[in-house]
Amino acid sequence: MATYNEGTREIAQEIEARLLENPDYSRRLGEFGFIELEETWGDETTILNTARVSTSNRRLRNLSDLTEKDKNLLFHLLSQHHGTPFETVYFRFRFIAPIFVLRQWVKHRISTWNEFSMRYRKPISAYYVPDEKALTVDGFPVLTPDQIERYADLMERIFAFYEAEYQESCRRIDQAASEGRLPGEKKDPAARNPYRARARELLRSAMPVSAYSDVYWTVNFRSLMNFFDLRTKENAQYEIREYALAARELFARKFPLLSELYEKSGSGPE
């Protein structure tokens, strides 16, 4: 594993803190991966009240008010794929995952996506290393330990390259500023140094897709079901499936009734 830069150490410490503070709704995945269900809006009553808006004045106020008839209606809505009522319940996840996982995840476009930016910060200096299960297909190891060692060595050199070249750019920028060839630092603490920023923008091009990134993902339940249906299947790529299964577990812990009916309706993992 590459030596963590300051920002990466802070993220690693934050992961540990969140695992302690919110253990029911956070999970570690691998050496640096992480997912947390931070917040939700709405519940089963929201779905039912939305569905009934054109047929009834009855409104549910609390989950404790649900009757068997209400649960049957909820199941009917799920099994018959009545989509829009399920768009009224929202989830906010935070996850830290390799960039190649993010490239698959972002295809689920009906959601809000806020990602760590290497324009403003140095990259997270951690990279994905596949575990034994990830390396094995039908019992056959597709990469050997020697290959993984060479892979890790390459990743180490890429991160070392970024750090060395960024420091060299900063040294040259600071020297030019001290000689009056560039303007000095602006007094506004929120203002970015445009020269350092451009160096980061250029050097991020060297970052591999195995590098980790940090994302806030806000999604409604209809879109979340689609994510579960596609990404928890046996034929989904191993790495994103691990995140999807973890997200599915956190959802089920938060909404046990909705989870039970969702499974019963025929959706969910095979």
Q: Tell me the DSSP string of 17-63.
A: HHHHHSGGGEEEETTTEEEEEEEEE--HHHHHHHHTTTT------SG
Mean pLDDT for all residues in the chain: 93
**25-83, pLDDT tens digit by residue?**
999 999 999 999 999 999 999 999 999 988 877 889 899 989 999 999 999 999 988 88
Instruction: Give the model's pLDDT for residue 58.
Output: 83
Instruction: Give the model's pLDDT for residue 110.
Output: 84
Spatial neighbors of 243 by CB under 8 A, at least 6 apart, are: 29, 33, 35, 95, 97, 101, 105, 231
Return the number of other C-beta atoms located less than 10 Å from residue 247's C-beta.
Answer: 24
Instruction: Give the model's pLDDT for residue 222.
Output: 95
> Are 30 and 128 contacting, i.e. CB atoms less than 8 angstroms apart?
yes
Instruction: Give the model's pLDDT for residue 176.
Output: 95
What backbone phi and psi angles, to 5 degrees, belong to 214?
A: -125, 125
Taking 50 as the threshold, does the pLDDT of residue 270 lie above it?
no
Which of the following is catalytic: 231, 241, 248, 253? 231
- Annotated catalytic residue 231: yes
Instruction: Give the model's pLDDT for residue 199.
Output: 97
> Are 120 and 197 contacting, i.e. CB atoms less than 8 angstroms apart?
yes
**153-193, pLDDT tens digit by residue?**
999 999 999 999 999 999 999 999 999 999 876 666 667 89
Taking 90 as the threshold, does the pLDDT of residue 244 lie above it?
yes
Instruction: Give the model's pLDDT for residue 187.
Output: 67
d(CA 187, CA 161): 31
User: Would you identify the CATH topology of the domain 6-42+89-264?
Assistant: Gyrase A; domain 2 (3.30.1360)
Q: Partners of 26 in the beta sheet?
A: 36
Spatial neighbors of 238 by CB under 8 A, at least 6 apart, are: 133, 134
Instruction: Give the model's pLDDT for residue 1.
Output: 56
Query: Model-level pTM?
Result: 0.92
Instruction: Give the model's pLDDT for residue 265.
Output: 85
Instruction: Give the model's pLDDT for residue 20.
Output: 98
Instruction: Give the model's pLDDT for residue 55.
Output: 82
Taking 60 as the threshold, does the pLDDT of residue 269 lie above it?
no
End-to-end CA distance of the chain: 35
> Are 127 and 210 contacting, i.e. CB atoms less than 8 angstroms apart?
yes
Instruction: Give the model's pLDDT for residue 54.
Output: 81
Taking 60 as the threshold, does the pLDDT of residue 268 lie above it?
no
**75-134, pLDDT tens digit by residue?**
999 998 888 999 999 999 999 999 999 999 999 878 999 999 999 999 999 999 999 999
Instruction: Give the model's pLDDT for residue 101.
Output: 97
Taking 60 as the threshold, does the pLDDT of residue 17 lie above it?
yes
Spatial neighbors of 167 by CB under 8 A, at least 6 apart, are: none
Instruction: Give the model's pLDDT for residue 57.
Output: 78
**Closest CA relative to residue 98, chosen from 151, 152, 10, 29:** 29
> Are 32 and 212 contacting, i.e. CB atoms less than 8 angstroms apart?
yes
Rg (CA), the chain: 23
d(CA 100, CA 212): 9
